[in-house]
Amino acid sequence: MSDTHTINTGSCLCGSVTYEISGHLGLFQYCHCSRCRKTTGSAFAANLFVAPTQFKWMQGEDKVGRYELANAKHFASAFCTQCGSNLPWLTKTGKAVVVPAGTLNETLDIAPKANTFYASRAPWEKCVSELPMFDELPAR
Ligand SMILES: [Zn+2]
Ligand SMILES: [Zn+2]
């Protein structure tokens, strides 16, 4: 099967850190929990889950910072110590790597399948489809 050789690559904003994922991308979902909102600074995290054996750092691993939230069972975060971008992080249990989908380079052939912790969403969150769409910044 050709798709067993699928490779996806990703990087942080400054490009110091790059990574590669081999094989199928797993679960893809939006998480609206307060931890994901804080760590991404956004309304929700767009996270993909892959097995640790599928993931490897290609460049700049020494620039990857990690923060482990004391009381969390799974949650941690990783980031580029140079540009601050979120990066894939190994769960505290070591069972999965959580990949922020926005750090991937390729167009994905899968789409998010669910919203998790939707009850914890920010009170100001609106479904994107309810808002006007501009292809770029709107004209002033
Ligand atoms: Zn960076
Ligand atoms: Zn979350």
> Residues 90-126: pLDDT tens digits?
999 999 999 999 999 988 889 999 999 999 999 999 9
Ligand 2 centroid to Cα of residue 100, in Å, is: 11
Ligand 2 centroid to Cα of residue 138, in Å, is: 31
Map the chain to HEC letters. Answer: CHHHHCEEEEECCCCCCEEEEECCCCCEEEECCHHHHHHHCCCCEEEEEECHHHEEEEECHHHEEEEECCCCCCCEEEEECCCCCEECEECCCCCCEEEEHHHECCCCCCCCCEEECHHHCCCCCCCHHHCCCCCCCCCC
Ligand 2 centroid to Cα of residue 34, in Å, is: 7
Ligand 2 centroid to Cα of residue 126, in Å, is: 17
Burial environment of residue 1 by CB neighbours within 10 A (0 to 12, 13 to 18, 19 or more): exposed
Question: Per mean pLDDT, which range of 4-13, 14-23, 42-51, 88-97 is the poorest?
Answer: 4-13
- Domains by residue range for the chain, with CATH: 2-122 (3.90.1590.10)
Ligand 2 centroid to Cα of residue 32, in Å, is: 6
Q: pLDDT > 90: what percent of the chain? A: 89
> Residues 80-90: pLDDT tens digits?
999 999 999 99
Q: Give pTM, 2 decimals.
A: 0.92
> Residue range 54-71: average pLDDT?
97
Ligand 2 centroid to Cα of residue 45, in Å, is: 7
